[in-house]
Copies of this chain bind each other. A is one copy, B any other.
Amino acid sequence: MAKQARAIQTRRMILEAAGAVFDEFGYESATIAEILARAGVTKGALYFHFASKEELARGVLGEALTTEGVLPQESRLQEWVDIGMVLAHRLPAEPLLSASIRLSADRKARDLFGTSWEGWIDFIAAQLAAAKDQGELLPHVDVRQGAKLFVGAWTGIEIVSTALEDGETLESKIAGLYDYFLPAIAVPGALRGLDTAPDRGARVWESYQAQHAGEATEGEAGGER
């Protein structure tokens, strides 16, 4: 069990190093040697988990569709806001996440591995459909169209953001995106209660971490009993 936990941790370290290298150099120019150097693991350990650069890229993309840090909310629209805001909070500190956008935007890498965009669109469409079922959306809203536009817009704002040196955080921009999108889709009643402040992602992420830390401690305590 401890051995398995270590293997999971090693795999994670390798993926994070691969994410950083893909993010910085792009898929073509990234080398296994550079990933090895950053991961600080042996060649044997890397090849045990990933047989090739292709498999590393697939591994990185496999981590891209994550809602870790999002907590269930009564309002499904608030949950949708939290998904985008937590990601905007996490992404600048997690090369594994930004790398998946770089790989998806790179036409050559995309032809090899596909993207996580279809998965994201399905996920966001389901989230918006749940909000609609709860009466939070205007009746004419096409949830699939909304999900497509949102995933495209979120992605583009991140990509353009990395090129602009305007001192504005990604969180602040994505908060703005929600403020632009929401009046077009939400019923006024649902709109009023929503929290789209730029620090929403950070607050939700901290609550999640605190809750998660608590659970881990409980688990350990349970083991000692």
A152 in contact with B148 (CB, 8 Å): no
Query: Counting CB contacts under 8 A, is A157 at the interface?
Result: yes
- Interface residue count for A (Cβ, 8 Å)? 47
B145 in contact with A176 (CB, 8 Å): yes
Complex: how many Å from CA A108 to CA B26? 8
B159 in contact with A105 (CB, 8 Å): yes
Query: Counting CB contacts under 8 A, is A151 at the interface?
Result: yes
A184 in contact with B173 (CB, 8 Å): no
A29 in contact with B108 (CB, 8 Å): yes
Complex: how many Å from CA A216 to CA B24? 49
Complex: how many Å from CA A118 to CA B173? 15
Residues 138 to 153 of chain A near chain B (Cβ within 8 Å): 145-146, 148-149, 151-153
A180 to chain B, nearest CB (A): 4
Across the interface, which residues of B come within 8 angstroms of A173, CB to CB? Answer: 148-149, 152
A180 in contact with B185 (CB, 8 Å): yes
Across the interface, which residues of B come within 8 angstroms of A156, CB to CB? Answer: 152-160
Which residue of B108, B151, B183 is within 8 Å of A160 (Cβ)?
Answer: B151
Which residue of B25, B104, B148, B180 is within 8 Å of A184 (Cβ)?
Answer: B180
Which residue of B106, B115, B148, B180 is within 8 Å of A149 (Cβ)?
Answer: B180
- What is the interface of chain A, defined by CB distance below 8 A to chain B? 24-26, 28-29, 102, 104-108, 110, 114-115, 117-118, 121, 145-146, 148-149, 151-164, 166, 168, 173, 176-177, 179-185
The 10 closest A-B pairs by CB, nearest first: A156-B156, A152-B157, A153-B153, A152-B160, A155-B156, A180-B184, A152-B156, A105-B105, A183-B183, A183-B184
Given contacts A107-B162, A152-B161, A156-B160, list 10 more A-B pairs with CB under 8 A. Answer: A24-B107, A26-B108, A115-B160, A149-B153, A152-B153, A152-B156, A152-B157, A152-B159, A155-B156, A180-B184
